[in-house]
Structure 1
Amino acid sequence: MENYRRREFIKLLGIASFLPILKWEEALAGRVNAVIELPPLPFQESLITGEEKGGRILVVGGIHGNEPGAYKAAEILRNLKVKKGEILVAPRTNFVSILTNKRGYNGDMNRKFASISPKDPDYPAVKRLKSLIKDYKPDLLLTLHDGFGFHSLNPKAWGQCIVIDEERYGEIELGREVRLVSERVNRLIKRRKWKIPVFNTHTFSKNTKHPEQRKSLTYFCLKECSVPAVCLEVSKQLPDLYHKVRFHLLMLREFFKVHGVETEPSLDWVIENVEELLEPKVYYSAELLINGRKVTVSDSKTFKIPKGSRVKFLTFNGTGGTNAITEDLNSNLRKVGIRKRISFKVKDDFKELFSIRFIVG
């Protein structure tokens, strides 16, 4: 009986969280003893423009939340200056999946670009990314991923390769440019299995072995927006995060060269200093409003709060990946009602920093 009641309560929370505040409180009246609110998870995007004219590249990271090499590389780009050309970076497209360290907390986001229900929790992010592509109309879109295995050893593996949907689509040439980048990067790679070949999925072909790719971001870019789009894959089986980010940056550097985009500091410098960039010295904390009183928390802490309490997380200090979720209920929810207790994890992307627990009574 208890499990049934809990399921019904969570269902009520999921419905109520989309209602106006007054109706939300009315819906939960008498059912909860405290209300706790988190700020909405942001859709992060940064447009960085150089003083000199050059290419325009859109870099997308974090579509899959358990691929840190991808979104960490995009985050590094986001914090650079641009000397020539411009880059638009969306580092954490699927923030809830990053915080939960799941490929897709709400299902595979990269299978939602053909169609998606407005009721899907991923809908706002997918809609925003589609709008970015249509409005910005980049010269090239690069979507970053960490795939399984090594494509040079197993042609069925998605790790460590550059993926294209076709050699050519309409007037868009993909194969020539991608092979050039592949050749340049592979000159710097000594281990055979770490080399980065080109993987053509032939998505537009009637006999493709990968029809699921017709629901992907790159297919949407080509078919619906006439925007050249390429997927950069490093391997999940690389030794550590450093190697994953480094290989992403090596590929990005060569695409930037082709399109006349230069950063400051240069990507040469960035690649040489990846380890330091992945470990920034920052102060982590969360600022909360507990029944009108502002509190700063920087370590694990438990708060005992009276019935009728209102708690609001205001801001998070740290990196661009610093935020909080609860795993006690649906992690999509940013406003919850509780009866007795709940715990929130403050995280830097996938890494747990500290927890904040509330007990009513």
Structure 2
Amino acid sequence: MKFSYFLILAIIASVLSANNHYDFDLIKKGKDDGNTLLVVGGIQGDEPGGFISASLLATHYEITKGSVWIVPNLNFYSIIKRSRGPYGDMNRKFAHLSTKDPEYKTIQRIKSYIKDDNVKLVVNLHDGSGFFRPTYEDKLHSPHRWGQCSIIDQTKLNIPLYGNLKEISDEVVKYVNKNLMKSEHKYHVHNTRTVEGDKEMEKTLTYFAINNGKAAFGNEASKSLVTHERVYYHLLALEKYMDIMGIKYKRKFEFTAKGVYAAINNDIYISMYDNKIKLPLSKIRGFLKYFPIKKDKILDFEASNPLLAIVKEKNIYTIHYGNRRLSKLKADYQEYDEESNTVKFLVDGKLQDVEFGSIVDVSKNFLVKYDENFRVNIIGYTNKKKIETDINIRKNQIATKFSVDKSGDIYRVEYYTKNKFAGMILVKFRS
């Protein structure tokens, strides 16, 4: 799927299986002006602070001036597998790589974006161990640790824009350090001096960028911090890089650790089969039984975040958010009615027209109006008449174990024609 430059929600419309290639997304925000910031996350799948930060930049920021390109899931297979790299460390494949390497095409593709004439500055996001310190303090705080630092490969680069790498890194570090949650989290500049002959660092993405005339930086948050705190520091650094480049933006959440946590975990969802089904994921149950999946076993979906994926194994469809497994759907294979429909609900005594794929907020009770075109199944509700329309239903009349969410507030109302699944509506009781 192609992304609009002004797209707020990054949408994936692909089916991922255990054996196919996991392509990464390039999300373009703002308007290309020859001064683009390229942000890369997910080069290593065990560093969620990096790839979640990139995804939030894609979904929770509006670029009002300038251009930002975002790759939130460069090594998507590694992310899903919760691995540093199932085929080896991807961040050591940018010097020389065999065409037979499973990640060869991925590396060539990201190289093409780095070399693009629009791109002037590259930031690669990582989570590193402990806390980098220029001098040894203890095992967790030392020059051998990588967390909480801005990384450069050399002090200067002879290019028209942003070649003053050390000065830029100093500015970023100074800005982050003005906004620390704890003094221990202090940032430092870490010059790896790759240009002086560090053979390992010569293989990295940032050094490839430098050798192609692009200013490049690594940004490391500490693995000693919980994920949303890592994201907080990555976003601080990214905002400073945007400021340095004259890129203007609007943020859509409160910029505190608590606000970042909410942005990561709230308002994430997938929509399936042309919006016949919408699933909110922030509090979804770990396992949903008898879930209507199209009989051809292909699960078409759109996602509110580029880190969302669905992986099929036999008749179980697992929803992933980055390297977190959110839920498993046990398929109830159905023929699908392709028509889109609107049906009638009585919600707290008020009549509403409701489209399939909607989430209906309910205070006290709801009633599904009878429609001769459909059979209705309210999952978890039973009565002696075995009819589930034209009956006022309260929350306590539906078995909690059948709720979509862990809080027991959201329930499925499924519609069927004679022999086909037609659509789903969720009713959400206000707690």
| TM-score interval (norm. to shorter) | 0.7 to 0.9
Q: CA RMSD in A?
A: 3.3
SS of the aligned residue for 2:107 comes to: helix
TM-score (norm 2): 0.61
1:61 to 29, 41, 52: 41
Give me the whole-angstrom Cα distance separating, in 2, the residues matched to 1:236 and 1:37. 28
Are 1:312 and 2:298 an aligned pair? yes
Give me the whole-angstrom Cα distance separating, in 1, the residues matched to 2:289 and 2:105. 33
Question: 2:22: which partner in 1?
Answer: 41
Shift of 1:319: 2.8
- The structure in which a higher percent of residues are helix is 1
Give me the whole-angstrom Cα distance separating, in 2, the residues matched to 1:313 and 1:117. 34
Are 1:167 and 2:155 an aligned pair? yes
Give me the whole-angstrom Cα distance separating, in 1, the residues matched to 2:181 and 2:326. 37
Pick which of 120-129 and 144-153 moved more.
120-129
Are 1:77 and 2:68 an aligned pair? no
Question: 2:311: which partner in 1?
Answer: 325
Counterparts in 2 of 1:315 and 1:266: CA distance versus 1, 3 Å: closer
Question: 1:345: which partner in 2?
Answer: 318
Pick which of 316-325 and 228-237 moved more.
316-325
1:227 to 199, 214, 235: 214
Question: 1:280: which partner in 2?
Answer: 266
Shift of 1:188: 2.4
2:55–2:305 CA contact under 8 A, matched in 1:
no
Counterparts in 2 of 1:296 and 1:120: CA distance versus 1, 3 Å: farther
Give me the whole-angstrom Cα distance separating, in 2, the residues matched to 1:64 and 1:90. 13
Once the two structures are superposed, residues 194-240 of structure 1 have per-residue CA deviations (whole angstroms, 9 ceiling, x without a partner) of 1010011111103x4xx2111100010011x11000000000101x2
Shift of 1:355: 2.6
Counterparts in 2 of 1:213 and 1:354: CA distance versus 1, 3 Å: same
Counterparts in 2 of 1:227 and 1:66: CA distance versus 1, 3 Å: same
SS of the aligned residue for 2:219 comes to: strand
| Structure 2 spans left out of the alignment, 5+ residues | 1-16, 134-140, 280-286, 333-431
Amino acid at match of 1:128: R
Shift of 1:354: 2.4
Shift of 1:247: 0.4
Give 4+ residue runs of structure 1 displaced > 6 Å after superposition: 36-39, 295-298
Pick which of 310-319 and 276-285 moved more.
310-319
Give me the whole-angstrom Cα distance separating, in 2, the residues matched to 1:48 and 1:55. 12
Give me the whole-angstrom Cα distance separating, in 1, the residues matched to 2:21 and 2:85. 18
Higher relative contact order (CA 8 A, sep 6+): 1
Question: 2:228: which partner in 1?
Answer: 242
Question: 1:15: which partner in 2?
Answer: none
Are 1:191 and 2:171 an aligned pair? no
Question: 2:70: which partner in 1?
Answer: 89
TM-score (norm 1): 0.72
Q: Percent identity?
A: 30
Larger Rg: 2
User: Aligned residues, how many?
Assistant: 297
Pick which of 350-359 and 87-96 moved more.
350-359
